[in-house]
């Protein structure tokens, strides 16, 4: 269908592109409120060729985080080849933090910040070039995603397609699932996190709309599992309670997973969360060393993380500990402490990353000041699998990769982890093979 604006979701080579592009679906929902009917070209699950998708289009906007940015540039160049009359727009976290670079790379327009109001302005005023600042939208403007613009039945089958993905373990083998983002922002200042440059006030999708969305996902796509992508699901506790109580009262009968800070785990809240279907919480543990937690400005402690995991387990909620190695000033002893934490805390899943300084963060700025940023960076490697920038002088990037493998092997050699891995392997050997190749 011809549209004035085409939004494009770039693919990567990673084995993790399992979820519907929530940011583009949110943008599209907003545009619709203004009578603008956009289309989406989703490279993960394309419905037509790029050439076909560009028919009748005036503006082509590509979203990019850091690791998808190189692909976004390729797409922009291809659009220009195919249709030199189309105005290309870059948006998303990476162009927001490096807007001048995106203009240099050839985009006509860069939206720095939230795209909703900026896109409407661009279209209404027929802006043709330059950096457009995106203002923050309000709670009531965070509309329900325009899911009909992508192949939702494909995305709801994520669990069946990718049983290897520990993020999806909260859902039953054959459950259809969907993602939803119920809030934007986080007031903490962890030096490596995107929230440090967003500096947005917290916004929450009204609870009524979250309930409507879940009911609609159930009715329309048979969804039974929801992954709330919020950075911190317990940030506004009265609202969290209201949401969980409504899920129970409306008998939505879902299971769900999300992320929360260790210091927010109250017993009554966890009990209510579990009753509403919470089966897994990801906790930003980051490190097993208090010295490193302090250095990262995490505002938490190792003891707090132990307690949070124990409390979740007490209430029947599994935990995924997100940890990083290669942190500033980190030594082999600190990394050893992180390994000990993963084993001793009995956390159910370990999401182990190599610390990656993303543009815009305080960590990136520190690395810049210390002359650590190489000139020829390959942004496609900014995916936590490697160390594109050496942040600590005590452990080399190569050693970090080796250590990461060793820690993961040790972690997955625990009897209960082995049993879970074997079950996944039997379920979908190919998917497990891909995951192992990606990691090792
Ligand atoms: C959901 C999510 C995912 C999901 C799904 C992604 C998706 N397609 O929706 C999954 C789990 C797959 C995922 C994977 C990864 N993710 Co992720 N993810 C998120 C998360 C939690 C929410 C994204 C979101 O919808 N935000 C809300 C929207 C509204 O904000 P937004 O994305 O910035 O979009 C707004 C503006 O940027 C702008 N905009 C965006 N696109 C466009 C396009 C145009 C044309 C315009 C005009 C404007 C515009 O308007 C939007 C609406 O206001 C964010 C953290 C966060 N809270 O944002 C991390 C985040 C985006 N992820 C991140 C990372 C690092 C990853 C992974 C590399 C991690 C990994 N190794 O597994 C992979 C990369 C996958 C890939 N191929 O891109 C980082 C990116 C940092 C960076 N600079 O690149 C973030 C910021 C979290 C963090 N660690 O700091 N992720
Ligand atoms: S608590 Fe989590 S989401 Fe909030 S700033 Fe820190 S890392 Fe980011």
Q: Which listed ligand is nearest to 435 at the C-alpha?
A: 1
Q: What is the pLDDT of residues 180-215, one digit of tens each?
A: 999 999 999 999 999 999 888 899 999 999 999 999
How much is the average pLDDT of 302-328?
98
- For the cut 60, the answer to whether the pLDDT of residue 386 exceeds it is yes
414/438: higher pLDDT: 414
Ligand 1 pocket check for 23: Cβ under 6 Å: yes
- Inter-helix orientation angle 267-275/237-249, to 10°: 30
Question: To 5 degrees, how large is the angle CA 297–CA 64–CA 161?
Answer: 95
Separation of alpha carbons 222 and 216, rounded Å:
9
Q: In the predicted model, what is the mean pLDDT of residues 23-31?
A: 97
Residue nearest to atom 71 of ligand 1 (CA): 383
Query: Which tokens go with 137?
Result: 């939208």
CB 351 within 8 A of CB 321: yes
Cα–Cα distance measured from residue 119 to residue 134, given in angstroms and rounded to the nearest whole number: 8
Domains and CATH numbers, the chain: 5-140 (3.40.50.280), 151-439 (3.80.30.20)
What pLDDT score was predicted for residue 430? 80
Residue of 273, 341, 280, 345 lying closest to 307 (CA atoms): 345
DSSP state of 111: E
Stretch 24-52: mean pLDDT, rounded?
Answer: 96
- Confidence (pLDDT) at 162: 83
- Give the whole-number percent of the chain exceeding pLDDT 90: 87
pLDDT at 435 over 80: no
Q: Identify the nearest ligand to the CA of 43 by its number.
A: 1
Distance of alpha carbon 298 from alpha carbon 294, whole angstroms = 6
Count other Cβ atoms within 10 Å, centred on residue 96. 26
**What's residue 246's pLDDT?**
98
> Quick check: CB of 162 below 6 Å from ligand 1?
no
The set of residues, in sequence order, having a beta carbon less than 8 Å from that of 112 and lying 6+ positions away, is 95, 96, 99, 131, 132, 133, 134
The average pLDDT across 305-317 equals 98
Is the C-beta atom of 302 inside 6 A of ligand 1? no
Region 372-394: what's the mean pLDDT? 93
Averaged over 308-313, what is the pLDDT?
Answer: 98
Q: What is the pLDDT of residue 201?
A: 87
Average pLDDT over residues 228-241: 97
Q: Tell me which residue has its CA closest to atom 8 in ligand 2.
A: 193
- Give me the pLDDT at residue 14, please: 61
DSSP string, 204-232: E--HHHHHHHHHHHHHHH-EEEEEE--S-
Q: How many angstroms separate the CA atoms of 239 and 93, rounded?
A: 27
**439 falls in which pLDDT band (50, 70, 90)?**
low
Question: Which of 7-16, 278-287, 288-297, 349-358 is predicted least confidently?
Answer: 7-16
Distance from the alpha carbon of residue 101 to the mean position of ligand 1, in angstroms: 19
Q: Determine which helix (DSSP H) or strand (DSSP E) holds 123, and give its type and residue range.
A: helix 115-124
**Average pLDDT for residues 292-306, to the nearest whole number?**
98
Q: How far is the CA of 44 from the centre of ligand 1 (A)?
A: 15
Region 142-153: mean pLDDT is 96
List the Cα angle 139/144/148 in 5-degree steps.
160
Query: Is the confidence at residue 363, as pLDDT, over 90?
Result: yes
**How far apart are the CA of 421 and the centre of ligand 2, in A?**
30
Question: What integer pLDDT is reported at residue 213 of this predicted model?
Answer: 98
Task: Using the predicted structure, report yes or no on whether residue 434 has a pLDDT greater than 80.
Answer: no
Which pLDDT band holds residue 426 (cuts at 50, 70, 90)? confident
pLDDT of 177 higher than 90: yes
Q: How close is the Cα of 191 to the center of ligand 2, in Å?
A: 9
Tell which residue, 38, 15, 11, 10, has the closest CA to residue 25: 38
Instruction: State the burial class of residue 367 (Cβ atoms within 10 Å of its Cβ: 0-12, 13-18, 19+).
Output: middle
pLDDT, tens digit, 9 for 90 and up, residues 90-147: 999 999 999 999 999 999 999 999 999 999 999 999 999 999 999 999 999 999 999 9
The model's pLDDT over 320-337, given as tens digits with 9 standing for 90+, comes to: 999 999 999 999 999 999
**Which residues' Cβ are closer than 6 Å to ligand 2?**
186, 188, 190, 193, 195, 231-232, 261, 284
Nearest-ligand number for the alpha carbon of 186: 2
What is the chain's mean pLDDT, rounded? 94
Name the band, by pLDDT with cuts 50, 70 and 90, for residue 440: low
Q: What integer pLDDT is reported at residue 1 of this predicted model? A: 46
Residues 30-40 have a mean pLDDT of 96
pLDDT of 436 over the 80 cut: no
Q: What is the length of the chain?
A: 440
- Gap from CA of 255 to ligand 1 centroid (Å): 23
Whether 166 and 349 have beta carbons less than 8 Å apart is answered as yes
Which ligand has the nearest atom to the CA of 133? 1
Mean pLDDT of 369-383: 94
């Amino acid at each position: 269908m011809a549209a004035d604006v085409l939004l494009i979701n770039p693919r990567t080579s990673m084995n993790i592109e399992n979820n519907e592009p929530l940011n583009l679906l949110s943008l599209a929902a907003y545009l619709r409120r203004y009578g603008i009917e956009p289309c989406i070209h989703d490279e993960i699950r394309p419905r037509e060729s790029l050439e076909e998708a560009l028919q009748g289009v005036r503006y082509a906007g590509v979203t990019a985080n850091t690791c998808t940015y190189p692909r976004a540039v390729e797409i922009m160049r291809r659009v220009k080849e195919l249709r030199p009359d189309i105005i290309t727009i870059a948006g998303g976290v990476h162009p927001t933090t490096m807007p001048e670079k995106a203009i240099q790379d050839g985009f006509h327009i860069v939206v720095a910040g939230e795209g909703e109001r900026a896109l409407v302005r661009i279209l209404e005023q027929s802006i043709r070039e330059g950096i457009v600042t995106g203002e923050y939208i309000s709670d009531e403007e965070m509309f329900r995603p325009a899911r009909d613009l992508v192949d939702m039945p494909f995305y709801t089958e994520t669990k069946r397609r990718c049983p290897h993905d520990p993020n999806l373990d909260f859902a039953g083998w054959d459950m259809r699932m969907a993602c939803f983002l119920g809030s934007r922002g986080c007031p903490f200042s962890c030096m490596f996190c995107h929230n440090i440059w967003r500096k947005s006030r917290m916004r929450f999708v009204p609870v009524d709309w979250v309930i409507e969305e879940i009911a609609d996902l159930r009715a329309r796509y048979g969804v039974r599992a929801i992954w709330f992508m919020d950075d911190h699901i317990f940030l506004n506790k009265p609202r969290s309670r209201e949401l969980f109580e409504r899920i129970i009262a409306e008998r939505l009968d879902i299971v769900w997973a999300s992320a929360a800070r260790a210091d927010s785990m109250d017993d009554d809240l966890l009990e209510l969360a579990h009753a509403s279907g919470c089966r897994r919480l990801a906790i930003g543990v980051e490190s097993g060393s208090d010295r490193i937690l302090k250095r990262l400005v995490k505002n938490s402690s190792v003891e707090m993380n132990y307690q949070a995991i124990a409390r979740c387990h007490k209430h029947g909620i599994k935990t995924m500990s997100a940890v990083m190695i290669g942190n500033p000033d980190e030594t082999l002893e600190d990394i050893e402490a992180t390994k000990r934490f993963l084993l001793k805390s009995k956390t159910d899943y370990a999401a182990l990353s190599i610390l990656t300084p993303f543009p815009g963060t305080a960590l990136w700025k520190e690395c810049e000041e210390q002359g650590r940023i190489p000139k020829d960076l390959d942004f496609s490697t900014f995916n936590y699998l490697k160390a594109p920038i050496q942040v600590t002088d005590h452990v080399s990037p190569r050693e970090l990769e080796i250590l990461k493998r060793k820690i993961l092997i040790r972690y997955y050699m625990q009897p209960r982890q082995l049993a879970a891995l074997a079950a996944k392997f039997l379920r979908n050997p190919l998917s497990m093979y891909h995951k192992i190749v990606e990691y090792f």
